[in-house]
């Protein structure tokens, strides 16, 4: 654990230095919007992520085609457009959602990407900078925020509401979002910090639009997610635990009901029914016996 913390401190320092030296492009208003809307899936000059690297995109694709695809990639795929179909196939199972962007915003994005491409630089978001290096104790604090044991300052939901991490609790976490066990393996340090500061995923962006994490919370949740990088996701384990708990709960409820109404055959309405049935049976026996005697005497 100490070695892990030392590594986290070094990585945090590197992230801080990298962000300070190379994030100038994100200061552009369009760069800030690109960071919020696009960066979780796309780089400009740093290689493929969940989607293609957008460096030189205007040299590879027609501007009009890009406008149509960015606005509604699913419609382009449904229309049978060969390039769109190929992109969806290449980056499956990831699927680019339709974007709530105006034509002017799309044009600004394309111009911004072209500017970064021609500058020879790579895009590094401002949110990729941690406010400070990771310190001992941040992992534990991040775990508390992730599980909801400690409330986020702005009132945002706990990560566990939608996400799980291997070993986070005996029952795991939510399944609405991705399992974050190896989030820091799927995303670089800069990308992970950026997502925590300015999530671009539709559900997260709505939930945290008015409830962003503080700089301290970002560092601490980052530290916790980084600490889970070497674990192996096991969603089946928590599902099996739910089955066992469900079975145990059912048996316990049935046992409690049986104990609560254990005298149901000896008291109350049932007792009256039984007494009435016995009395009718006795009357029937007496009546039958009387008839038998009368027939014999005759």
- How many Cβ atoms are within 10 Å of 131's Cβ, its own excluded? 13
Chosen domain end from 203, 231, 259: 231
Q: What single-letter DSSP state applies at residue 298?
A: -
2, pLDDT greater than 50:
no
Chosen domain end from 187, 203, 231: 231
Tell me, what's the pLDDT at 152? 96
Task: Say whether both 176 and 91 belong to one domain.
Answer: no
Distances from the Cα of 177 to the Cα of 154, 183, 216, 256, 258, angstroms: 21, 12, 23, 37, 41
Give the tokens for residue 250: 């059912």
Task: Say whether both 263 and 213 belong to one domain.
Answer: no
Average pLDDT for 100-122? 94
- Coil, helix or strand for 179? strand
Please give the Cα distance from 137 to 295 (Å, whole number): 100
User: Which single residue is written with the structure tokens 């099996």?
Assistant: 240
Which neighbouring-strand residues pair with 164?
179
Distances from the Cα of 87 to the Cα of 41, 69, 94, 270, angstroms: 13, 11, 10, 71
Highest mean pLDDT among 2-16, 30-44, 284-298: 30-44
115, pLDDT greater than 90:
yes
- How many Cβ atoms are within 10 Å of 41's Cβ, its own excluded? 19
Please give the Cα distance from 198 to 40 (Å, whole number): 9
297, pLDDT greater than 70:
no
Structural domains of the chain, count: 3
Contact between 180 and 163 under an 8 Å Cβ cutoff? The reply is: yes
Tell me, what's the pLDDT at 22? 46
Task: Say whether both 110 and 191 belong to one domain.
Answer: no
Q: CB under 8 Å to 217, separation ≥6 — which residues? A: 145, 152, 153
Where residue 247 falls among pLDDT bands split at 50, 70, 90? confident
Please give the Cα distance from 23 to 11 (Å, whole number): 17
pLDDT digit string, tens, across residues 184-230: 888 888 889 988 988 878 888 889 989 999 999 999 999 999 998 87
Q: 79: domain CATH number?
A: 1.10.760.10
Please give the Cα distance from 10 to 19 (Å, whole number): 14
199 within a domain of the structure (yes/no): yes
Tell me, what's the pLDDT at 24? 46
Tell me, what's the pLDDT at 203? 86
Chosen domain end from 231, 257, 278: 231
13 within a domain of the structure (yes/no): no
Closest C-alpha among 212, 225, 197 to residue 134: 225
Mean pLDDT for all residues in the chain = 82
172 within a domain of the structure (yes/no): yes
Q: Give the predicted TM-score (pTM) of the model.
A: 0.51
Give the tokens for residue 21: 């030296």
Please give the Cα distance from 161 to 141 (Å, whole number): 17
227 within a domain of the structure (yes/no): yes
pLDDT digit string, tens, across residues 123-173: 988 778 899 999 989 999 999 999 999 999 999 999 999 998 988 877 778
Tell me, what's the pLDDT at 17? 38
Task: Say whether both 186 and 216 belong to one domain.
Answer: yes
Closest C-alpha among 158, 161, 195, 185 to residue 175: 161
128 within a domain of the structure (yes/no): no
Task: Say whether both 54 and 111 belong to one domain.
Answer: yes
Which domain, by its residues, includes 56?
40-122
34 within a domain of the structure (yes/no): no
Tell me, what's the pLDDT at 271? 66
Contact between 225 and 192 under an 8 Å Cβ cutoff? The reply is: yes
Contact between 213 and 146 under an 8 Å Cβ cutoff? The reply is: no
78 within a domain of the structure (yes/no): yes
Least confident piece of the model among 6-10, 141-145, 176-180: 6-10
14 within a domain of the structure (yes/no): no
Rg (the chain; Cα; Å)? 33
Where residue 289 falls among pLDDT bands split at 50, 70, 90? low
């Amino acid at each position: 654990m100490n070695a892990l913390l030392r590594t986290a401190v070094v990585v945090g320092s590197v992230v801080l230095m990298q962000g300070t030296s190379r994030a100038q492009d994100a200061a552009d208003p369009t760069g800030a919007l690109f960071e919020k809307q696009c960066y979780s899936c796309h780089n400009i000059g740093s290689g493929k992520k969940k989607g293609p690297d957008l460096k030189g995109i205007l040299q590879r694709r027609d501007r009009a085609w890009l406008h149509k695809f960015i606005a509604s990639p699913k419609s382009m795929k449904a229309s049978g457009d060969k390039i769109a179909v190929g992109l969806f196939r290449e980056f499956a199972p990831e699927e680019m959602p339709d974007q709530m962007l105006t034509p002017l915003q799309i044009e600004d994005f394309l111009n911004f990407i072209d500017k970064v491409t021609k500058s020879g630089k790579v895009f590094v978001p401002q949110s990729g900078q941690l406010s400070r290096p990771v310190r001992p104790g941040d992992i534990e604090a991040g775990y508390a925020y992730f599980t909801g044991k400690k409330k986020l300052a702005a009132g945002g939901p706990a990560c566990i509401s939608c996400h799980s991490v291997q070993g986070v609790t005996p029952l795991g976490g939510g399944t609405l979002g991705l399992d974050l066990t190896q989030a820091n393996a799927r995303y670089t340090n800069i990308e992970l910090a950026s997502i925590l500061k300015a999530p671009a995923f539709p559900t997260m962006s709505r939930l945290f639009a008015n409830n962003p994490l503080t700089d301290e919370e970002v560092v601490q949740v980052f530290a916790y997610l980084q600490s889970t990088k070497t674990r192996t996701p096991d969603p089946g384990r928590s599902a099996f635990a739910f089955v066992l708990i469900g079975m145990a709960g059912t048996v316990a409820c049935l046992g409690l009901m049986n104990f609560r109404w254990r005298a149901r055959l000896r008291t109350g309405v049932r007792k009256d029914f039984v007494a009435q049935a016995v009395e009718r049976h006795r009357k029937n026996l007496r009546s039958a016996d009387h008839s038998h005697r009368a027939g014999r005497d005759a």
